[in-house]
Each structure stands twice: as C-alpha cells, then as structure tokens.
C-alpha cells in the first residue's frame, strides 16, 4: 500500500483538480485517517481491513467504500469524509494498477523474502521522503495538514489518527534516510504518483 505522503499527494492533486472549496486541512487529514490503526505499529489484518473497508474482490471493495461514504454524509464533515474515501480509493487503484508491476520487479531481483520486503518498503518510503521536499508540501499542504483536528471515524479513534498525523509531519523527512538511504526509488516515481492521482480523480468523478 502507498505511504502517507503518496496519499497526501493524491489528495492534494484531487482537491486542486476539482477546484474544491472548504476545509482543506480536514480533507488532508482524512486522506491518512484509515492508517490511524497503524499509529502504534502494524495492526492485525482484521483491524486493517475493517479500517480500509477492504474486500478481496476489488469491485466489492469499491462498493464498500462508496456505501460508507454515502452512509456517513451529514454525520462526518464532508472534507474529512472525502479524504477518507480518497485514501481507500488510492489503495484500491494502487493494488489494481501499480502493485502487480512493483511485485514483479522486486521478485526479479531476489528470491529472499526478507530482502523483498525491505525493497517494497524502501520504494514506498523513499518516494515519501522525496515528497516531503516538494513545493506542494513545503509551501502549503504541510502547514494546513499540521493544523487539522483529528476526528473519530469508522471505529478509528481521533487519538490514533493524531499520532499518525504527528508521525507523518516529522518521521518521513527526518528518519527515513537512516533506514533506507537517500537514493531515489526505482519504481514508485513521480510519474507513477501522477498516474495514480489521475486514476483516482477519474474514479471519484465517476462516483459523483
């Protein structure tokens, strides 16, 4: 699954592309909210799947996301709720369009599963580190994201989402290079991020 900065990048692209007006801070925080379950460490699969409204079948997964979005309108602030939907759709389209190629590339490099796992996380986190230094984040989105107020959503506590918010603000820019270095990612590139954002924007337009 994409890292937090990829989710924020896709959300930022959608907000600008669709010319949305409202509380952008809450929207951006909603874009990472499903991963709040992982704020204290990788949550068990059952918890992660419930938070992401997940199903094995991607079509059913999309239906779950839309059903939740439609059912919570008027209950949860629309910006926060839309961000949540964008996060889930980003994960779905990542699995559908991009993850298979990433997996093939990694499997071609090594047969060692520990090394494969390291390479997967390296690709995701190295993109996230680069995104931290891009203008869209440094000169606007980061400041708005930082002042957002976490809300309970889909059984995920505001406390856990706030922990992830703080982690996103500081860990990616300051810690990733200690574990993964500073080389640019080979697969999770800016072009892939732009293509993912375009796919999500197209799907959300269909949803509307």
Nearest of 188, 156, 185 to residue 48 by alpha carbon: 156
Nearest of 96, 63, 106, 85 to residue 196 by alpha carbon: 96
Segment 21-57, tens digit of pLDDT: 999 999 999 999 999 999 999 899 999 999 999 999 9
Secondary structure of 14-82 as H, E, C letters? HHHHCCCCCCHHHHHHHCCHHHHHHECECCCHHHHHHHCCCCCCHHHHHHHHHHHHHHHECCECHHHHH
Tokens 């799947």 correspond to 49
Segment 67-102, tens digit of pLDDT: 999 999 999 999 999 999 999 999 999 999 999 989
Phi, psi of 39 (to 5 degrees): -65, -25
Segment 113-154, tens digit of pLDDT: 999 999 999 999 899 989 999 999 999 999 999 999 999 999
Of the pLDDT bands very low, low, confident and very high (cuts 50, 70, 90), residue 183 is: confident
Of the pLDDT bands very low, low, confident and very high (cuts 50, 70, 90), residue 170 is: confident
């Amino acid at each position: 699954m994409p890292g937090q900065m990829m989710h924020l990048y896709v959300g930022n692209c959608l907000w600008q592309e669709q010319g949305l007006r409202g509380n952008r801070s809450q929207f951006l925080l909603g874009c990472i909210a499903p991963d709040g379950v992982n704020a204290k460490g990788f949550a068990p699969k059952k918890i992660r799947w419930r938070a992401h409204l997940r199903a094995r079948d991607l079509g059913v997964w999309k239906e779950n996301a839309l059903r939740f979005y439609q059912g919570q309108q008027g209950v949860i602030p629309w910006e926060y709720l839309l961000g949540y939907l964008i996060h889930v759709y980003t994960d779905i389209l990542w699995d559908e369009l991009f993850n298979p190629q990433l997996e093939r590339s990694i499997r071609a490099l090594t047969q060692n599963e520990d090394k494969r796992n390291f390479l997967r996380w390296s690709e995701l986190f190295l993109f996230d580190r680069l995104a931290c230094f891009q203008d869209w984040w440094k000169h606007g989105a980061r400041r708005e994201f930082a002042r957002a107020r976490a809300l309970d959503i889909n059984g995920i506590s505001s406390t856990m989402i706030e922990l992830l918010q703080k982690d996103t603000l500081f860990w990616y820019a300051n810690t990733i290079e200690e574990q993964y270095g500073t080389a640019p990612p080979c697969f999770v590139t800016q072009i892939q991020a732009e293509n993912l954002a375009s796919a999500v924007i197209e799907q959300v337009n269909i949803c509307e």
